[in-house]
Chain A
């Protein structure tokens, strides 16, 4: 396993593999900017396999694997010190044979299928914003009366923000990718990352809108003791929707298909299912 040194190195690795093995099956959907980012962070590794190779992005608490292989039946990868996430993405009515075969190989190799998620786009954020605004105004008054404040996440609060995010039970660790402190500060300056602090200055709720081109994926979290108390989640959702409407961003999400409550919530919001599905497979680490 070695670090990928540059975008040219990345392309050359793939070119060589294709020259040796012919057409390869892959789950790598990264555009060049995403690859460059990992390389600049020194967080993109390449590991050779019997049937090809896998790029591993180091997301701090796990690796994410992007494979290029010729024979899916021979896919096998050793356990590492951190869990490895592999995502396979497909249209719900067109799961290709090689992905079905990959499911078998992943299981044989020790991976567990931890999630099957449906992709959604919020088509009319303005409508949702209008519906939530009245309640949000009330929540905001109560919140401010209690000494809470919504604000950008300053650099000195980043460690607390990350600890807060990592403690959110509803978001598994493998759905929490790595961001550097500089990236988080940048996002905060752009209004993509916001928190709610209590009167003592501790984070009790937060949201992060993660941009992928013109699409955004995000999370909103509230400390256990304040869930359903002041409407903090709705307030952060309104804050997020205002930004989305103002900037013309598309708001997307991945929803666990067995989570009925979440599916119903998204449908009430006016979410449209795109028909794209993502399987999440995890190979847990050595420890």
Chain B
């Protein structure tokens, strides 16, 4: 599979350069990302990976960390 993790990091560097996505966890509950950030990220992911991110997967648990984000995107890509 293409370099999903690298592309996710690139998206965050563009959208939220002040966030160290590789080291941060508890992104939403910890206030590092809010719902606007998530929707913008999902929109970029749609364009970059050519996927339609299911709305029911836009939940804080899937956006806990870079690992969980990578996992959910790969899952959606395989569907």
Residues of A at the B interface (CB closer than 8 Å) are: 11, 14-15, 18, 22-23, 26, 28-32, 34, 89-91, 96, 119, 212-215, 250, 276
Contacts and interface: CB of A to CB of B under 8 A. Distances in A.
Query: Looking at chain B, what size class is its interface with the partner chain?
Result: 20 to 34
A213 B58 contact: no
22 contacts: A11-B55, A15-B54, A15-B55, A28-B55, A29-B38, A31-B28, A31-B35, A31-B59, A32-B58, A32-B59, A89-B36, A89-B40, A91-B15, A91-B40, A96-B43, A119-B36, A213-B31, A213-B35, A214-B30, A214-B31, A215-B31, A276-B36
Contacts of B39: 26, 28-29, 89
A278 to B, nearest CB: 8
Contact of A18 (B29, B31, B52): B52
Contacts of B31: 213-215, 250
Interface in B37-79: 38-40, 43, 46, 52, 54-56, 58-60
B15 to A, nearest CB: 7
Nearest to B53: A23
A49 to B, nearest CB: 17
B22 interface: no
A176 B30 CA distance: 26
B34 interface: yes
B38 A213 contact: no
B38 A14 contact: no
Contact of A212 (B34, B38, B43, B56): B34
B60 A31 contact: yes
Contacts of A96: 43
Most interface-central of B43, B54, B55, B58 (chain A CB within 10 A): B55
